[in-house]
């Protein structure tokens, strides 16, 4: 199936920031994140909230969607999934600032929210 193939091949694609020099924030909500618990194998569901200040590159949204969908069958903890997504995003876009929040649906009466951030040490564009 072409959808599964696109997800498997999914990687973050970027394009040049059309407004380099202007500081602005891009906010993206991804309400259908899923992964599998590495201990029980049960599915975990979350809404991801991504906010970043672009540097030289901006993420292409379809590639972000496919990249996020690639977690669907991964056995990965809440903490590791959100940290890995942030690391991959920073590697692809090199934003001035980025904040990622994973708001996981309650399971077993436990609600987990993971928040990670990254800021360039020089906070200036290259």
Q: Tell me the per-residue pLDDT of 61-104, one tens digit each, with 9 for 90 and over.
A: 999 999 999 999 999 999 999 999 999 999 999 999 999 999 99
**CATH number of the domain encompassing residue 29:** 3.30.1130.10
- State yes or no: 79 annotated in a binding site: yes
How many domains, in total, are found in the chain? 1
**Domain that includes residue 79, residue range:** 2-119
**Tokens found for residue 87:** 């690391």
Q: Can you give the pLDDT at residue 2?
A: 54
60 is in an annotated binding site: yes
Helix (H, G, I), strand (E, B) or coil at 105: coil
pLDDT at 50 over 60: yes
* Range 32-37, long-range pairs (CB < 8 A, 24+ positions): 33/68, 33/71, 33/102, 34/71, 34/72, 35/71, 35/72, 35/74, 35/75, 35/76, 35/81, 36/73, 36/74, 36/75, 36/76, 37/75, 37/77
Residue-wise pLDDT for 3-45, tens only, equals 566 566 678 999 999 999 999 999 999 999 999 999 999 999 9
> Is the pTM higher than 0.85?
yes
37 is catalytic: yes
Residue 121: the pLDDT is 86
Structural domain includes residue 13: yes
Residue 113, strand partner residues: 103
For residue 124, tell me if it sits in a domain.
Answer: no
Choosing from 37, 73, 94, 103, the catalytic residue is: 37
Residue 124 has pLDDT above 80, yes or no: no
Residue 12 annotated as binding site: no
Active site residue 94: no
pLDDT at res. 122: 75
Tell me the torsion sign for CA atoms 15, 64, 90, 58: positive
Query: What pLDDT score does 48 carry?
Result: 99
pLDDT category at 123 given cuts 50, 70, 90 is low
Cα separation, 30 vs 118, in Å, equals 19
């Amino acid at each position: 199936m072409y959808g599964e193939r696109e997800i498997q091949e999914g990687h973050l694609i970027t394009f040049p920031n059309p407004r380099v020099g202007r500081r602005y924030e891009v906010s993206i909500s991804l309400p259908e994140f899923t992964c599998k618990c590495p201990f029980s194998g049960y599915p975990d569901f979350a809404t991801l909230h991504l906010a970043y200040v672009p540097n030289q590159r901006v993420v292409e949204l379809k590639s972000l969607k496919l990249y996020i969908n690639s977690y669907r069958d991964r056995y990965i903890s809440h903490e590791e999934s959100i940290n890995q997504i942030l690391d991959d995003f920073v590697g692809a876009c090199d934003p001035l600032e980025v904040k990622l929040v994973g708001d996981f649906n309650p399971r077993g009466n436990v609600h987990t929210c993971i928040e990670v951030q990254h800021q360039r040490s020089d906070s200036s564009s290259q």
